[in-house]
Structure 1
Amino acid sequence: MSEIKQIPLKLKKPVGFFSEYHQAELYLSLNGYFTIQSDRQLSKTDRQIAESELKSALQSALTLAAKETDICSFLADQSSFEVISEFMKVCLEDWQQQYGIEFISINPSKVSFDKESIEVIKTFQNMQNNIKQIPVDSWKCIKCGCINDSKFCKDCGTAKPETWKCVCGAENTGAFCTECGTARENIWQCPCGSLNKNSFCPQCGRPRNY
């Protein structure tokens, strides 16, 4: 088999794939070339078929890559398309039998997202940045809804509600646990440190009024 290099690849339409990381459909434009091995000269029809099936394999590879990672960061790595190529080989392994062609790799010279995808990515990044900026011990004012990190609401002055921990482990501010419904007045802490709601501590056996 003789290796044929730099067969042009210019997709007329962006490749769409679902990014689980962004929870959205993204569209990627890609120009470059792909490398194959073939025991014969490729006709124009051969190349058209190859390009169509390449797009499908590329779509599957991108969807797989976007399942557990930020696809933008992934594609920024120069070695990312080595991973993409390996997966595409699996998708195109029947080329050898059907066309006498073996897929080797895809080599992009230009990779870019369309405008809508860029907006989706920017919006997601802004949301992530906003989440990171919220302090861990922040609380939401029950009166105006403002997020605060001090003892009093910065917008309306309402005091931070006192929290209590239920035996189920949930943190609460009201009279009843939001997870299991246990009343706050029934919760007591034993000298051994255990939180309880019954008359006797299940850890050490002490009665509630010990």
Structure 2
Amino acid sequence: MAEDRTSSPTPSERKRNDAEAAAKEAAEQATLPYKWTQTISDLELTAPIPGNLKGRDLQVTITKTTILAKIKGQDPIIEGPFPHQIAPDDSAWTLETLSSGGKELSISLSKSNKMEWWPHVVTSAPKIDTAKIVPENSKLSDLDGETRGMVEKMMWDQRQKEMGKPTSEEQKKQDILKKFQLQHPEMDFSNAKMS
């Protein structure tokens, strides 16, 4: 009998695949001329700048849908469209002097939709796997009750999916079906399909 190759990966295969994907993602991100991090509502980007430069030596343009940041007369550090819109009036950039004597361009972007993770800063950059993002609990506590509840539900559903267990919606449907089956024992549910 032929072996079924369509089965889901074993936990050790999944762990190895995740590790390989994480290493590939880290290598791709390391090639970027900037570093970036995000919370559910904001995105921070930093790039090293020679210590002899001043703010007037930079060109930084931030719109609702695009960004351009560069040292005048040089190739852009970052340029292109965002994957989602930002609030330009709530976004800013600064040039900070580091203790090492160098400088750092720091750009803070405020996401318009405070409920989505970005796979990249600009659409031309390599993507990260947003399903692997684990928000800091301290940041979760900053959210209002309704938003926090939605984020916690999304995180719970994501963990359930990773373990091959039903999400909250799927569990709700199963519970309703079980209750209906108990109320109607005369009906045959052997071929019932959940979708």
Q: TM-score range by the shorter chain?
A: under 0.3
TM-score, structure 2 as length reference: 0.28
User: Which one has the largest radius of gyration?
Assistant: 1
TM-score, structure 1 as length reference: 0.26
